[in-house]
Every structure is written in structure tokens, then in C-alpha cells.
Amino acid sequence: MPPPDHHKDDQYLKEVIPKRIQLFQSIQSQQKSHIQSLPHDPIKVVLPDGSVKEGKRWESSPMDIAKGISKSLANNALISMVDGVLWDMNRPLESDCQLKLFTFDSDEGRDTFWHSSAHILGQSLETEYGCKLCIGPCTTRGEGFFYDAFYGDLGLNQDHFKSIESGALKAVAEKQPFERIEVTKEQALEIFSDNSFKVEIINDLPVDKTITVYRCGPLVDLCRGPHIPNTSFVKAIACLKASSAYWRGNKDRESLQRVYGISYPDQKRLKEYIEMLREAEKYDHRELGKKQELFFNHPLSPGSWFFLPYGTRIYNKLVEFIKKQYLERGYQEVISPNMFNMKLWETSGHAANYKENMFLIDIEKQEFGLKPMNCPGHCLIFDHKVRSYRELPLRMADFGVLHRNEASGALTGLTRVRRFQQDDAHIFCRESQIKDEVRGVLEFIDYAYTVFGFTYELKLSTRPEKYLGKMETWEKAEADLAEALNEFGKPWQINEGDGAFYGPKIDISVSDALKRKFQCATLQLDFQLPERFKLEYSAEEENGIERPVMIHRAILGSVERMFAILLEHYKGKWPFWLSPRQAIVCPVSEKSQPYALQVQDQIVKAGYYVDVDTTDRKIQKKYRVLGFIRKTYCPTKLVIVELHIVITVDLGDVSVSSVSRSLQVREAQLAQYNFILVVGEEEAKTGQVSVRVRDKADHSVMNIPSLLEQFKEKTEAHQ
């Protein structure tokens, strides 16, 4: 099917793009001449293994060093790091330095690869549709990239993808180099004078910010970079979906369209990724949630979900799991208000930086806001009385309800909501306690994620360009975090310059059964909020007053989001300890129902979730019929239709009760009950149950005490 007709802005393509290229080339020529005039003194380049390579200042590039090591490395290295700063492979080195090289198998390499792929996508979109490009990063999930653009009246959909991909592959085939220039604010405004979105970005940049512009083929784009050497490294690229977006995430601004893409260095990996997406679609938490009657949402409360009885069982189990650990790990639970006067958020800084994401309420001519996070409220709790160093560390936990005014277009099932709860906690401690507290949080994370069956990666995000506080405080905090990570004993990486402005942090990304990555847990140091709220405690020294350090931490993160991740991770098959349907008792006849209810009562009193199948399955008085889609009866045959498969059972050869029993078991298996307990007259006489386990064909006969002991063992082992 050909893509719908669209109006291409020919003037934009014929005049704007050539003008940008001309300005880019003019500035590039001047900068190359300047670099050639500089002294090309010898420099020493130190590699991670300690070996030293020789080069020339303003002449040798990381690519030259890679070629000197091996042809294979030069063919696969995507990006470099020079003294802790990511650096284009073809950008000349400026002095003696330490050099690291990254391939696609590293986070740095993948992120750069996908960021560069976004430029290739942007080039195709701009040349094909004459749209005004906005931003095009790699995704925060770490899987692919997207580009936001303004198209006017054109609505993109999957019918456009073939032509978009064709344009992208054309750029790949041309082996377009990624070229970099540095420009002044005035030059940047001139280059992008025809794109109001880029102009707004430029005008908002700090005065002292170095502005960089990149070119690949006809695309000239405002970008801090860095990028892969050229477009030919992207051997496989595909569009995934198109959606709406708002400029700068503000629902009151221009409506944009976002195209998501994925790319790889070879077709095999792209094919594997597409297969993984197809597999993931089968287990989308929204569909599984409907099938298992766990939750739903309603247009009268968008972004806020209703949890049904079975879903509430899981939700509560997750909360109880964390709360039990709180008792063992020295946390104190608190409950804080849902709504605060905006003066609180002015003190914390959220009024200036987060107000548009808050729900605001006018009360008696004063402005209040529903809390989007717990930390300012916890500062008030800390400050409500005089504190002593003897009370520290103070670990304060809160499952309070949070509200964030997410744009309607960004709402995605349980993973992006407006109303949610976090297993939120804040640790107030002395600087000397940071290392031990951080290690304790890491051990908590490891315990929980091991129970869930996740693997995870750790990164230490260090001081960004713009930060608050003293340099020596940051250096001490980063050293404490690094030491805690080393003592923790798991592999970790440095994420240079990606810390929050108020303190360094440890980023934890988990991988589920489908090998998808998610950011759930949080561990951040904060020197800023204690300063803003003037928090103090009396020190050991007489009359000494000190300010605490605040550690923000969450293990599950949003309970709603973790619920969704686990539902997909387990593919709808909940482990027994977390399952909302731990067991069902299936009586094979009406005579067995009283005993089935007795069994249920014993199991419920032991603290487990158990249902009883009391469905009336009689037709006339002679036959028992079970059907999944429709039921058909004839005098000599029993016909059962299940998911388009027709099974005919000759009643002359098979007893009705045995058919009933097998179909009860099948129904229970499809409903994902962990244990199916079949009871008949024989079981009622002996006080036993016939036990079948989900997804297993065999069965065993057990008495109730033995069954409950098995349930207890599974619960304690989190199985």
C-alpha cells in the first residue's frame, strides 16, 4: 500500500538545506585553516592497559591510534573517550591524554551508534517531508532512538515507514562522514534561522556553553555529539512506531510527531530484536492484565488505574515484601500528607523546576500542590525536632501516594501514570556514614532483584558540568560511592558527568526475561535539600552543629511500573509467593462441593489465596458439559470447542465425571492457578486432595497439612 499523499515544502528543501550546508562549509574551512596553523607537537596517548602510543597534537585522531593498534579495532571502534570526555573518532587530539575506545558492545558505543542513527533518521524525515526537526536522542530505555519533528497537517503512520527507511538506507550507502564544527551563538542562530525550535534551544543555552553543529550528507543539525565515524557503520535500520509528542513535553506547546527507530551493525541482530519485540507483544502487561482480571483504567481518570481484587493481591504482596525488609534493615515507616502549600515546593526548588508537572489546587486563595515526590515532606519530618548524631543514620520510608501531571500522550499502561506509589525512602546520615549506607542499599537491591529473577548493571554517575556545592565534597562523595561499589563486589562502570546537579548517584538498570532494560531502583546522594531546608543535628563535639547528607533510594521504584515489568517478565505466570491465584479446589461433582469448601477454609486460614470452582456444569440431568467458547450437545456425542479446536468425546467410552475433571484442570491451568486441587468422593473420605501443579501433567495425592507445608516452603523461598 503506497503512503498517503503529503505536501513537501520544496522551498525548505531547495533553499534552507543548501544555505545551511554553505554556512557549515564556510565555518568548517575557517576552523581547519586555524588548526593547520597550530603547532603539531608530539603527544603521548596512554591506553587502558598502560601502553603508550605516539601522536601529533591537532593532527592525530583516535581513529589514527586505533589503526595503529589493529585494522579490526579501527573497523569496529565507534567512539572514544579522551580524559573522561566522549570524543569523535576523527576529531584531532589536543594534548597528552588517556584514551579509551568503544565498540557497539559497550554502553558508550551503543548510545553513540543510536544517537547517530537518529541523525540518519532525521535526514530521511527532513528530505522526504520537509519537516522542522526538533530533537533526536537515543532513548532513555537504551533501546534505539527517536526524532521529534513538526509536520504541519501531515499525520505519520506505518504506511510511511517504507519510504522513511529507504531514505535512511540511502544515507547509509553513501558512507556520509559525521563532521563537527564549533560555532558562536550568532552563527548557530544564522544556520538555524528557519527552524524556530532550534532557535529556542540556542537562545536558552548558557552564555559560556560551547555550541557544536554536526553534518552528515544534507543534514546539518544542532548537536553536542559525539557521533560514529560515518553512516556506513549502520548496516541495518528500521522504523518501529510513530506517536504524538509535545514540544518540550508541554501540552500547551506545539504538537509534534515522534518516529521511533532501531538500528544495528548487522542484519542478524536487527532480526533478533524484531523477533524479541514480537515475543514481547504476546505478553504486553495491558493485555495480560485484562485476561487475568488484574486492573483497568477509565477515561474519567486517565493515567490512574483501578486494581481489581486479583491485582490488589499482587500489589499488596509487593508492598509487604518491601515492608518486611524494612523491619530487618532498620527502616522506620512514616506517613506524610498528600498536599502541601507551594511554599514548601519553593523551598525545595521544585516550584521553579517541576511546577508544570504538578497538580495545583487553590485553597482559600492560596496555591497548594499534590506531592510528586516525598523528599521535601521527609525534610520537614527530620526538622520537626532537635536531632542528635546518635539518631543517625535515620532511614525514613514512605509508601505515600504521588501524583505527576504527565502529558496524556505520554501515558503508557502502568509504566507511565499520573497516580502511583513508590517504595520511597530517604536516609539522613553523616558524611562518614555514606559508604556503609550505600553498601546497605546495594545489598537490599541485590536481594530484591535476585528474588525477582532480574540481572542488573551498576553505573556511578559523577559530577556534571553544572553542580551545586563544593568540589571537595563531591570528590569525597564520589570516592565513598566508588569504595562502596568495590566492597559490594559486583561489576560497575563510571558514567562521567551524568550525576544530578545536587549530588552523584548510582544508576541501576535491570534486565528481564526478554533481555529488555529498565530503570527501577534509585540511589542518589543529595547535599542540596539539607542545605535548602537548613537541616542540622548536634555533633559529637560540644556545641557542634553539622548538616546531614540525604540519600534518596527506592528498590521497586513505582509499584505500578514494577507490577507491569514483573507481569511481562513472568509472561503472566506468577510465582507461587506472588501469585493472586495460588490454588483452586475443583470438586468433580455436586456431592464433593461441601468438602471442597472445607479445604478452601483450611487453606485460607493458613494465609493463602484459594478459590473453589462451583460452576454448575449440568445439561439436562444426564450429561456434564464444559465449553470454553461455545457449548454444543447432541444425544450421543459431547462436543467441546476450545480456542477454535473442536474435541469430540464419545460418551459411550468415557465417563462424564472424568471428562469434567480433565476440563476443570484445563480451565484452571489457563487461568494460571499455581496448584489445582481436585477433590471427589474418595478424597472427601480420606481427607486428602489430588494435587496438580500448573504446566505439569502428573499429579499426586496429599493430605492438607503436607500441602500447607509445601506452600510455606515455596513462600519462604520466594518461589
Please list the active-site residues: 375, 404, 422, 424, 426, 505, 552
As a whole number of angstroms, the distance between CA 425 and CA 523 comes to 10
- Numbers of helices and strands, H then E, in the chain: 22, 38
Nearest to 438 by CA among 395, 472, 468: 395
* Cell numbers placing 27: 565555518
Nearest to 90 by CA among 265, 270, 220, 214: 214
Q: Reduced to 3 DSSP states, what percent helix, strand and coil does the chain have, rounded to the nearest 5?
A: 40, 30, 35
Q: H or E segment at 691?
A: strand 688-693
Contacts for 297 with CB less than 8 Å, ≥ 6 apart: 303, 304, 305, 306
As a whole number of angstroms, the distance between CA 85 and CA 713 comes to 51
Q: Yes or no: say if 612 and 581 are a contact pair by the CB < 8 Å rule.
A: no
Number of C-beta neighbours around residue 285 at 10 A = 22
* Cell numbers placing 579: 501469585
Nearest to 396 by CA among 517, 529, 267: 529
Which residues share a beta bridge with 87? Answer: 80
Show the CA angle centred on residue 199, arms to residues 197 and 204, nearest 5°: 100
Q: Angle 434-452/309-329 helices, nearest 10 degrees?
A: 150
Q: Residue for cell digits 507490577?
A: 563
CB burial string 140-172: b at 16+ within 10 A, e below? eebbbbbbbbbbeebebeeebbebbbebbbbbb
Write the secondary structure of 185-232 as one string of H (helix), E (strand) and C (coil): HHHHHHHCCCCHHHHHHHHHCCCCCCEEEEEECCEEEECCCCCCCEHH
Contacts for 378 with CB less than 8 Å, ≥ 6 apart: 334, 336, 396, 398, 426
Q: Yes or no: say if 658 and 672 are a contact pair by the CB < 8 Å rule.
A: no
Q: Dump the DSSP string for 574-636.
A: --GGG-S--EEEEESSGGGHHHHHHHHHHHHHTT--EEE-----EETTTEE---SSEEEE-SS
